């Protein structure tokens, strides 16, 4: 007992001295390690490493016995050295998941890095994802009206700068054309109800359109995601020559600031409140009758706080007809939007999400979007 405790302590000591610079590891305070790869892991990642047991064998730092040769091995590698080896050639556009991302993205990252060793040599990733500027394949796409998933052909084309899909394999005309300037992809396993579920959005006549897709094979799904990212990077490089890639890399895809149900009332504030699904996508607050609707019932632009936009944790006193008690008044230059949340915590989270964009200065292109919302028929 004493002996294994002593070994655990020396492992923790190694971890602290070796990986001081590895912020991800430090934040997660690892209690697990792979004794075949020589890296420390958080509990969640240790579970994913069990999926590649032929490459990575994990043990608890505190509960499992460690031999002195295993300790010596970890001492000789560590997270920083493993990263230098296995992440040597990660393409800049390639999405690196964080501990907040869904299991699919984290699992495929670990497999790509350690099992397939994709980032030791850069070529394989680029060739299979999107060279020569073209990707074609089938995805299950949710039907707009009946919610049934049907196998659809998708084509991603760098030359045309679009992602498109076809309802029939031999159809000449695509059912939808999604341009690279406004396309976004984000994994939504919970909302879609399948672990590989991905939401793709694009703008049509300045309104958001949603499609929901998945592929049974996790690698195929993550490859589509990264292919969309590299296609978007290419589009931005051509459209805005001279701008550094560092400007575009954080904008290739984005996750939503917040989603969930709130109640809302109409523009006159006299109708009853109705439960709607809200999505905060950067400065666009959208609401839907059903979370998987193809398009929003309404969209609200949230500008900067110095331009007559604000959010208050109250409703005007005369307002009636709501069931949820935690009201928010969203003020824009044109009108006030009244919503209510089910819990106090939910209201705090929504307000925090609104504050992110209220506090952020407006970009030149965002003024154009704002003008569109102001003159919307
Ligand atoms: Zn982890």
Q: Ligand 1 centroid vs 283 CA: distance in angstroms?
A: 30
Q: Ligand 1 centroid vs 105 CA: distance in angstroms?
A: 12
The answer on pLDDT for 225 being more than 90 is: yes
The answer on pLDDT for 338 being more than 60 is: yes
Q: Ligand 1 centroid vs 169 CA: distance in angstroms?
A: 41
Q: Ligand 1 centroid vs 294 CA: distance in angstroms?
A: 34
Q: Ligand 1 centroid vs 56 CA: distance in angstroms?
A: 14
User: Whole-angstrom Cα distance, residue 118 to residue 304?
Assistant: 42
The overall average pLDDT reported for the chain is: 90
Nearest to residue 185, comparing CAs of 164, 148, 213? 213
Interacting residues of 56 by C-beta distance below 8 A, sequence separation 6+: 34, 36, 37, 49, 50, 114
| Confidence category of residue 8, pLDDT binned at 50, 70, 90 | low
Question: Given this model, what pLDDT does residue 26 score?
Answer: 47
Nearest to residue 235, comparing CAs of 309, 153, 178, 282? 178
The answer on pLDDT for 22 being more than 50 is: no
The answer on pLDDT for 368 being more than 70 is: yes
Express each pLDDT in 153-207 by its tens digit.
999 999 999 999 999 877 889 999 999 999 999 999 999 999 999 999 999 988 9
| Confidence category of residue 354, pLDDT binned at 50, 70, 90 | very high
Q: Ligand 1 centroid vs 213 CA: distance in angstroms?
A: 27
Alpha helices in the chain (DSSP H): 2-18, 23-28, 43-49, 68-76, 78-86, 103-110, 123-130, 189-192, 218-239, 245-248, 344-358, 364-374
Express each pLDDT in 258-306 by its tens digit.
999 999 999 888 889 999 999 999 999 999 999 999 999 999 999 999 9
| Confidence category of residue 1, pLDDT binned at 50, 70, 90 | very low
Where does residue 104 rank: exposed (0-12), middle (13-18), buried (19+ CB within 10 A)? buried
| Domains of the chain as residue ranges with CATH | 2-86 (1.10.220.150), 123-251 (2.30.29.30), 258-374 (2.30.29.30)
Express each pLDDT in 124-137 by its tens digit.
666 677 777 899 99
| Confidence category of residue 149, pLDDT binned at 50, 70, 90 | very high
Mean pLDDT of 210-230: 96
Q: Ligand 1 centroid vs 190 CA: distance in angstroms?
A: 20
User: Whole-angstrom Cα distance, residue 293 to residue 359?
Assistant: 30
Q: Ligand 1 centroid vs 214 CA: distance in angstroms?
A: 25
Q: Ligand 1 centroid vs 79 CA: distance in angstroms?
A: 12
Query: Alpha-carbon Rg of the chain, whole angstroms?
Result: 24
User: Whole-angstrom Cα distance, residue 258 to residue 250?
Assistant: 18
User: Whole-angstrom Cα distance, residue 38 to residue 47?
Assistant: 16
Alpha carbon 228 to its chain centroid, in Å, reads: 13
Mean pLDDT of 224-245: 93
The answer on pLDDT for 76 being more than 90 is: no
Burial 5-28 (b: 16+ CB within 10 A, else e): eebbeebeebbeebbeebeebeeb
Report how far apart, in Å, the C-alpha atoms of 144 and of each of 191, 196, 260 are.
16, 19, 21
| Confidence category of residue 145, pLDDT binned at 50, 70, 90 | confident
Mean pLDDT of 220-244: 93
Where does residue 55 rank: exposed (0-12), middle (13-18), buried (19+ CB within 10 A)? middle
Largest CA distance in the chain: 75
| Confidence category of residue 96, pLDDT binned at 50, 70, 90 | very high
| Six-digit token string for 19 | 């990986």
Nearest to residue 325, comparing CAs of 315, 335, 311, 310? 315
Mean pLDDT of 357-367: 94
User: Residue 242 — φ and ψ, nearest 5°?
Assistant: 100, -25
| Confidence category of residue 92, pLDDT binned at 50, 70, 90 | confident
Question: Given this model, what pLDDT does residue 365 score?
Answer: 87
User: Whole-angstrom Cα distance, residue 288 to residue 299?
Assistant: 9
User: Whole-angstrom Cα distance, residue 12 to residue 74?
Assistant: 11
| Confidence category of residue 21, pLDDT binned at 50, 70, 90 | very low
């Amino acid at each position: 007992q004493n002996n294994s405790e002593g070994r655990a302590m020396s492992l923790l000591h190694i971890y602290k001295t070796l990986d001081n610079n590895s912020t991800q590891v430090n934040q997660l305070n690892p209690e697990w390690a792979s004794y075949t790869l020589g890296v420390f892991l958080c509990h969640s990642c240790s579970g994913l490493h069990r999926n590649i047991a032929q490459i990575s064998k994990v043990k608890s730092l505190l509960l499992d016995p460690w031999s002195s040769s295993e300790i010596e091995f970890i001492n000789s590698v560590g997270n920083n050295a493993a990263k230098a080896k296995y992440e040597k050639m990660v393409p800049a556009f390639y999405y690196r998941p964080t501990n907040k991302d869904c299991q699919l993205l984290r699992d495929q990252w670990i497999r790509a890095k350690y099992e397939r060793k994709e980032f030791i040599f850069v070529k394989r990733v680029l060739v299979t994802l999107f060279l020569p500027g073209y990707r074609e394949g089938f995805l299950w796409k949710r039907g707009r009206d009946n919610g049934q998933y049907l196998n659809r052909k998708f084509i991603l084309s760098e030359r045309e700068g679009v992602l498109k899909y076809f309802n029939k394999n031999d159809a000449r005309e695509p059912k939808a054309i999604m341009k690279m300037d406004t396309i976004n992809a984000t994994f939504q396993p919970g909302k879609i109800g399948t672990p590989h579920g991905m939401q793709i959005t694009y703008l049509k006549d300045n309104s958001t359109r949603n499609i929901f897709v998945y592929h049974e094979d996790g690698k195929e799904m993550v490859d589509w995601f990264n292919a969309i990212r590299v296609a978007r990077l290419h589009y931005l490089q051509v459209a805005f020559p001279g701008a550094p890639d560092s400007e575009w890399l954080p904008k290739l895809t984005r996750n939503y600031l917040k989603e969930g149900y709130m109640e809302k009332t109409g523009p006159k504030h006299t109708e009853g409140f109705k439960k709607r699904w809200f999505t905060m996508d950067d400065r666009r607050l959208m609401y839907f009758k059903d979370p998987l609707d193809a398009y929003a019932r309404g969209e609200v632009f949230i500008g900067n706080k110095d331009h007559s936009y604000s959010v208050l944790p109250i409703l005007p006193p005369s307002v009636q007809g709501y069931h949820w008690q935690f009201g928010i008044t969203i003020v824009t230059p044109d009108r006030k939007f009244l919503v209510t949340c089910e819990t106090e915590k939910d209201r705090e989270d929504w307000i925090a999400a609104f504050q992110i964009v209220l506090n952020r200065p407006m970009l030149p292109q965002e003024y154009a979007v704002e003008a569109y919302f102001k003159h919307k028929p």
